[in-house]
């Protein structure tokens, strides 16, 4: 029990006498992930609910903290409503106080922004809250229980996020996380000396953690005598544990942890057998290798990639419309340098990065917008900061090739600077196209039975397409299965709106798909630059794919062409597809082409 009352208290857990027995309060669940705050009787192991605590759809993610004496709970509830977008009913958070001995909750204050984490202060007279009040990133605030709005104080500030506060019992130290240097770091704030110290992991502690000898492994991606190559790498010990270099922005996709690296990378690892996999986008074969790291012996492993296809050499250039760098909060903070590593490692040629809001006034990544290519772009990997326009009622759009951001950035978010559902999506698309930009509906559908039935669906799409305001539709991305039939409805109504790719990935989150997991290949026979790629996407000289390569000709025409006949005519159609993995819903194994003859009526 004494160990549970360590110097820094866990955010929720605390021991206290309850019915003359020691009990622990934290999130527990008999099955699945812990999702409810409960009392755990340390003698019997029985769970009991915390009386008076709300039990609703917000409860599993509700920030909550237990006072140092175990007598009081503080928790925050947002004003979101089921089946609506986050922030649709306003970004405010209601901060409540509840006695653990029973009684009714007491409203402390309606805070004018989201609250993500809470920790009682040492005196029990207030709390430290993680919130985005007046900013687009998380900061730490101290909120006193008396006069919370007037006397609240901002503890941290910066472009990135501070999170997970933990307070020492005498109030001298505050421990929290922050990520302005990219990866998450632990920072110790000393209120007596007014000092901040970033804590580091020492090599000695690393060896103690694994209780065995540490071995140096050096990965060499590509050839030493050629320009450095970026790649995605997964390193798994045979006992099932994944590893990544200290400070790397690792991610989980498809059940595997991976990290991005460029050129040479060194890792300190416990001795043992490892499985190494590496990727460089869908046009390269997956690199696989097993290696035994032996005590006292360093290893160098060369990671070289082999292409199974080369779309670039055939005049096809890949890209996507919907990449978030630092959106909606995550443990990492990205800069154009880290973004280039990720996108180049996926062999993605055109990378449209989104400036956007989430559930309030804060707009993420506005500071990176330039109205032209990012300076970190290379001839083969183009970074361009654009915009996701988010309406709470009509649906979301992505704008590309912007010289300036299209205001307002969002519409319909209650209690923000723009709570109204105006201007319409069609008006914003017009403002985009007036500056030479391209307007696309993104993640248009998620429900096969009702494409407009979900909170984030493109409810304005039918009217805006009919008005001629929409250039493309992001069919390849989240909700792909529901978006495809919606796109065919558009085509069957006679509207020639090309399908594009917008995967809505989040580069600052551990669990997210990589950029370009679905991509749009645009055919550019003469030259490759950003504007010509956008023009080709708008014209439909393209196909979308999550890996397989496709080809299609109708007579002498290619995708993006329009065929007009003055009389009935026989037309030869040639279609082909090839892939390094088995293809669903076809009989193709690796590469196959087929042709047929159609008798087409005039028109």
Same domain, 227 and 99: no
Q: Torsion over CA of 447, 449, 453 and 456, rounded to 10 degrees?
A: 20
CA-to-CA distance for 439 and 427, rounded, in angstroms?
11
pLDDT at 5 over 80: no
pLDDT at 207 over 80: no
pLDDT at 540 over 80: yes
Mean pLDDT computed over 360-386 = 97
CA-to-CA distance for 60 and 36, rounded, in angstroms?
6
Q: What's residue 449's pLDDT? A: 92
| Polymer length in residues for the chain | 603
Same domain, 527 and 557: no
CA-to-CA distance for 177 and 330, rounded, in angstroms?
11
pLDDT at 1 over 50: no
Q: What's residue 600's pLDDT? A: 63
Same domain, 185 and 207: no
What is the tens place of the pLDDT at every residue in 588-600? Answer: 444 566 666 666 6
Same domain, 145 and 235: no
507: in domain? yes
In degrees and rounded to multiples of 5, residue 270 shows phi and psi of: -65, 145
Here the CATH number for the domain that contains residue 173 is 2.120.10.30
Mean pLDDT computed over 508-513 = 94
Place of tokens 């997210």: 512
Mean pLDDT computed over 490-495 = 96
Enter the DSSP assignment of 168: B
Q: What's residue 22's pLDDT? A: 57
Same domain, 542 and 405: yes
Q: What's residue 209's pLDDT? A: 67
Mean pLDDT of the chain: 90
Mean pLDDT computed over 382-409 = 97
Same domain, 151 and 224: no
* DSSP of 561-580: -----SS-EEEEEEEEEE-S
Beta carbons of 542 and 500 less than 8 angstroms apart: yes
- CA distances 194 to 31, 155, 190, Å, are 45, 11, 5
193 sits in the region (left: phi over 0; alpha: psi -120 to 50; else beta) called: alpha
Confidence tier at 411 by pLDDT (50, 70, 90)? very high
What is the tens place of the pLDDT at every residue in 102-154? Answer: 889 999 999 999 999 999 999 999 999 999 999 999 999 999 999 999 999 99
CA-to-CA distance for 246 and 249, rounded, in angstroms?
9
CA 46 to chain CA centroid, nearest Å: 38
Of the candidates 597, 581, 599, the residue with the CA atom closest to the CA atom of residue 589: 581
Confidence tier at 202 by pLDDT (50, 70, 90)? low
Q: Give the domain range for residue 94.
A: 15-191
Same domain, 542 and 555: no
Give every CB contact of residue 73 below 8 A, 6+ residues apart in sequence: 37, 50, 53, 64, 65, 66, 67, 97, 98, 99, 100
Ranked by mean pLDDT, which of 78-82, 296-300, 438-442 comes out on top? Answer: 438-442
Beta carbons of 510 and 251 less than 8 angstroms apart: yes
Q: Cis omega (within 30 of 0) on the bond before 158?
A: no
Strand ranges, E, within 58-136: 64-66, 72-78, 93-99, 106-111, 115-120, 126-131
Mean pLDDT computed over 488-506 = 96
Q: Cis omega (within 30 of 0) on the bond before 514?
A: no
Give every CB contact of residue 334 below 8 A, 6+ residues apart in sequence: 182, 249, 325, 326, 507, 508
Burial class (CB in 10 A: 0-12, 13-18, 19+), 74: buried
pLDDT at 344 over 60: yes
Mean pLDDT computed over 563-586 = 84
Confidence tier at 8 by pLDDT (50, 70, 90)? very low
Same domain, 218 and 236: yes
pLDDT at 40 over 90: no
Place of tokens 């006992």: 239
- CA distances 452 to 29, 81, 289, 443, 494, Å, are 35, 18, 46, 11, 20
Same domain, 531 and 414: yes
CA atoms within 13 A on the CB side of 59: 16
Same domain, 543 and 556: no
What is the tens place of the pLDDT at every residue in 273-282? Answer: 999 999 999 9
CA-to-CA distance for 107 and 96, rounded, in angstroms?
5
423: in domain? yes
Print the SS3 string covering 358-370. CCCCCEECHHHCC
What is the tens place of the pLDDT at every residue in 83-93? Answer: 899 999 999 99
Mean pLDDT computed over 166-183 = 93
pLDDT at 7 over 50: no
Q: Does residue 42 or residue 542 have the better pLDDT? A: 542
What is the tens place of the pLDDT at every residue in 63-79? Answer: 999 998 889 999 999 99
Here the CATH number for the domain that contains residue 283 is 2.60.40.2190
348: in domain? yes
State the total domains in the chain: 4
Among the listed ranges 209-218, 279-288, 444-453, 524-533, which one has the minimum average pLDDT value? 209-218
């Amino acid at each position: 029990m004494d160990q549970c009352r360590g110097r820094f208290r866990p955010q929720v857990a605390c021991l206290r006498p309850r019915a003359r027995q020691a009990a622990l309060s934290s999130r527990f669940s008999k099955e699945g992930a812990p999702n409810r705050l409960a009392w755990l009787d340390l003698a019997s192991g029985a769970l009991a609910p915390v009386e008076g605590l709300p039990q609703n759809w917000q409860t599993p993610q509700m920030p909550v903290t237990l006072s140092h004496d175990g007598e009081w709970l503080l928790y925050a509830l947002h004003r979101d409503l089921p089946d609506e977008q986050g922030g649709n009913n306003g970004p405010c958070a209601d901060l409540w106080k509840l006695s653990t001995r029973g009684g009714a909750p007491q409203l402390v204050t309606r805070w004018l922004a989201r609250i993500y984490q809470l920790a009682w202060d040492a005196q029990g007279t207030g709390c430290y809250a993680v919130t985005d009040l007046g900013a687009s990133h998380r900061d730490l605030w101290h909120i006193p229980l008396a006069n919370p709005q007037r006397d609240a104080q901002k503890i941290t500030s910066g472009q990135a996020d501070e999170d997970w506060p933990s307070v020492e019992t005498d109030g001298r130290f505050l421990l929290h996380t922050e990520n302005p240097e990219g990866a998450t770091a632990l920072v110790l704030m000393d209120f007596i000396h007014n000092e901040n110290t970033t804590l580091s992991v020492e090599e000695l502690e690393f060896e103690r953690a694994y209780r065995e000898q540490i071995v140096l492994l050096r990965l060499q991606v590509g050839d030493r005598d050629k320009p450095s190559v970026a790649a995605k790498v997964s390193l798994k010990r045979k006992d099932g544990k994944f590893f990544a270099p200290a400070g790397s922005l690792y991610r989980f996709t498809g059940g595997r942890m991976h990290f991005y690296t460029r050129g040479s990378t060194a890792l300190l690892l416990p001795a043992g057998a490892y499985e190494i996999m590496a990727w460089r986008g869908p046009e390269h074969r997956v690199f696989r290798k097993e290696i035994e790291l032996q005590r006292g012996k360093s290893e160098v492993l060369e990671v070289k990639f082999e292409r199974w296809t080369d779309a670039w050499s055939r005049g096809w250039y890949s890209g996507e419309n919907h990449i978030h760098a630092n959106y909606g909060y995550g443990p990492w903070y990205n800069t154009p340098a880290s973004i280039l590593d990720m996108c180049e490692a996926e062999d993605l040629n055109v990378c449209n990065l989104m400036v956007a809001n989430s559930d309030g006034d804060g707009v993420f990544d506005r500071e990176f917008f330039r109205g032209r290519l990012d300076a970190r772009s290379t001839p083969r990997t183009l970074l361009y900061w654009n915009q996701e326009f988010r309406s709470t009622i009509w649906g979301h759009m992505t704008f590309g090739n912007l010289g300036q951001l299209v205001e307002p950035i969002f519409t319909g978010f209650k209690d923000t600077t723009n709570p109204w559902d105006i201007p319409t999506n069609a008006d914003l698309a017009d403002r985009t196209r007036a500056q030479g930009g391209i307007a696309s509906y993104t993640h248009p559908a998620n429900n096969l039975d009702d494409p407009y039935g979900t909170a984030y669906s493109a409810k304005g799409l039918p009217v805006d397409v009919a008005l001629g305001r929409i250039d493309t539709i992001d069919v390849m991305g989240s909700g792909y299965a529901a978006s495809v039939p919606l796109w065919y409805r558009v085509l069957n109504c006679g509207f020639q709106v090309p399908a594009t790719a917008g995967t809505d990935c989040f580069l600052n989150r551990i669990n997210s798909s990589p950029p370009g997991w679905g991509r749009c290949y645009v055919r550019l026979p003469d030259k490759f630059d950003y504007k010509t790629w956008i023009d080709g996407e708008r014209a439909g000289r393209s196909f979308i794919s999550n890996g397989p390569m496709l080809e299609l000709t109708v007579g002498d025409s290619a995708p993006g062409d329009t065929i007009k006949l003055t009389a009935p005519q026989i037309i030869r159609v040639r279609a082909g597809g090839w892939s390094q993995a088995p293809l669903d819903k076809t009989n193709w194994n690796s590469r196959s082409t087929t042709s047929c003859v159609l008798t087409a009526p005039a028109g």
